[in-house]
């Protein structure tokens, strides 16, 4: 990382370790709280700059689920899509080959060559609402 413009520091290493071990879609504030359990001297500005650097280097993706805050996830995981609870904010990952196949088919039908896509399905998770029936409201 030093060769790419980031100096190695213990603070940065701690931020990276906590972030990559969390396996979650964290905001800067959430990550700062987790990191400060280990090192009270690390502030949100340091966490923010570290995430921006990791994003620029391609290790981290910045995500916006319309909550007014950015979330971050590892770029080192396989492609997946997201389920976002509009009540509690929980973000869950899922992989669905049928969706991937359908997206490719639709792109071909329109003479389009996709280079990437992002899919987020918004709704209410099982903890916040009634169990899903698998059918939309009618």
Domain contains 135:
no
Domain contains 8:
yes
Could you tell me if residue 105 is left (phi over 0), alpha (psi between -120 and 50 degrees) or otherwise beta? alpha
CB 81 within 8 A of CB 119: yes
- Kindly tell me if the per-residue pLDDT of 138 is higher than 50: no
The whole domain housing 82 covers 78-126
Q: Are residues 56 and 107 in the same domain?
A: no
pLDDT digits (tens, 9 = 90+) for 57-73: 999 999 998 888 999 99
Q: Which pLDDT belongs to residue 78? A: 84
Domain contains 3:
yes
pLDDT digits (tens, 9 = 90+) for 81-106: 999 999 998 899 899 999 999 999 99
- Residue for token pair 């899919």: 119
Domain contains 1:
yes
Q: Which pLDDT belongs to residue 136? A: 56
Q: Minimal CA–CA distance to 72: which of 100, 40, 47?
A: 47
Q: Are residues 105 and 120 in the same domain?
A: yes
Q: Are residues 27 and 91 in the same domain?
A: no
- Kindly tell me if the per-residue pLDDT of 47 is higher than 90: yes
Q: What is the mean pLDDT of residues 7-17?
A: 89
CATH of the domain at 88: 3.30.1490.190
Tokens of 117: 């896509």
Q: Are residues 102 and 73 in the same domain?
A: no
Q: What is the mean pLDDT of the chain?
A: 89
Q: Are residues 48 and 67 in the same domain?
A: yes
Tell me the pTM.
0.72
Could you tell me if residue 92 is left (phi over 0), alpha (psi between -120 and 50 degrees) or otherwise beta? beta
Domain tally for the chain? 2
Domain contains 132:
no
Which of the two residues, 137 and 52, has the higher pLDDT score? 52
């Amino acid at each position: 990382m030093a060769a790419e413009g980031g100096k190695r520091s213990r603070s940065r290493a701690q931020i990276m370790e906590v972030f990559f071990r969390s396996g979650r879609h964290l905001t800067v504030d959430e990550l700062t709280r987790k990191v400060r359990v280990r090192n009270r001297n690390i502030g949100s500005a340091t966490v923010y700059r570290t995430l921006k650097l990791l994003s620029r280097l391609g290790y981290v993706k910045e995500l916006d689920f319309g909550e007014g805050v950015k979330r971050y996830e590892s770029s080192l995981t396989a492609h997946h899509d997201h389920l976002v609870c509009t009540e509690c904010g929980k973000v869950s990952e899922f992989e669905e080959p049928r969706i991937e196949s359908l997206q490719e088919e639709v792109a071909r039908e329109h003479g389009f060559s996709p280079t990437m896509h992002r899919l987020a399905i918004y709704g209410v998770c099982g903890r916040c609402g009634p169990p899903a029936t698998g059918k939309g409201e009618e």
